[in-house]
Amino acid sequence: MSTHSVACVALAVVMTCGLPSAIAQSASAVARPAPRPARHAVAPPAPSVPTAPTVAPIAQPAPAQPPTRGTPRPPEARQATPSPSVRVAPSERPARAPVAARPTRSERTVRVVPPCVGPVVELRRSHTNTLWRGPLLDCRGRVRSEALAALSVLASPRPHPAGALAPELIVPVRAAIVRAAPVASWAPLATEPEARRVRQERNTAAATRTCPRGQEPETPSPSSSENTAQRAAPSRGARRARGQVAERLRCRAIVLDRDVHTRDVRVESADGVRVVHPRLVSLVAEVSQRFAGHPIEIVSGFRPSRDVHAGSRHAHARALDFRVVSVPRERLRDVLRTLPLVGVGYYPHSVFVHLDVRDAREGSARWTDYAEPGERARYGQWPPRAQDVQREIVHITERVDALLERVAQSERARGSQDSHEDNVETHEAPSLAEPAEAP
CA dist., res. 91 & res. 110, Å (int)? 42
Assess contact for 118 and 285: CB atoms under 8 A.
Answer: yes
CA dist., res. 361 & res. 338, Å (int)? 18
In a domain, 333, yes or no: yes
Q: For residue 416, what pLDDT is reported?
A: 79
Q: Does the N-terminal peptide bond of residue 383 adopt cis geometry, omega within 30 degrees of 0? A: yes
Beta strand 120-125 with 130-135 is antiparallel
CATH code of residue 358:
3.30.1380.10
Do residue 158 and residue 141 come from a single domain? yes
Do residue 202 and residue 131 come from a single domain? yes
268 phi and psi, to 5 degrees?
-125, 145
What 3-state DSSP class applies to 333?
helix
Residue 372, domain extent: 278-380
In a domain, 120, yes or no: yes
Q: For residue 207, what pLDDT is reported?
A: 44
Q: What is the pLDDT along the chain (439 residues), one digit of tens a residue?
A: 555 565 555 555 545 555 445 444 554 554 455 555 555 445 555 555 555 555 555 555 555 555 555 556 665 555 555 555 556 566 666 666 666 666 665 555 556 667 788 899 999 998 888 999 999 999 888 999 999 999 999 999 988 888 999 999 999 999 999 888 888 877 777 654 544 555 555 554 444 467 777 788 877 655 544 454 444 455 555 555 554 444 567 888 888 888 888 888 889 888 889 999 999 999 999 999 999 999 999 999 999 888 877 778 999 999 999 999 999 999 999 999 999 999 999 998 889 999 999 999 989 999 999 888 778 888 877 777 787 777 778 777 887 888 888 888 888 888 877 776 766 666 555 544 455 454 4
Q: For residue 67, what pLDDT is reported?
A: 56
Do residue 182 and residue 126 come from a single domain? yes
What 3-state DSSP class applies to 301?
coil
Do residue 135 and residue 155 come from a single domain? yes
Do residue 158 and residue 257 come from a single domain? yes
Q: For residue 215, what pLDDT is reported?
A: 81
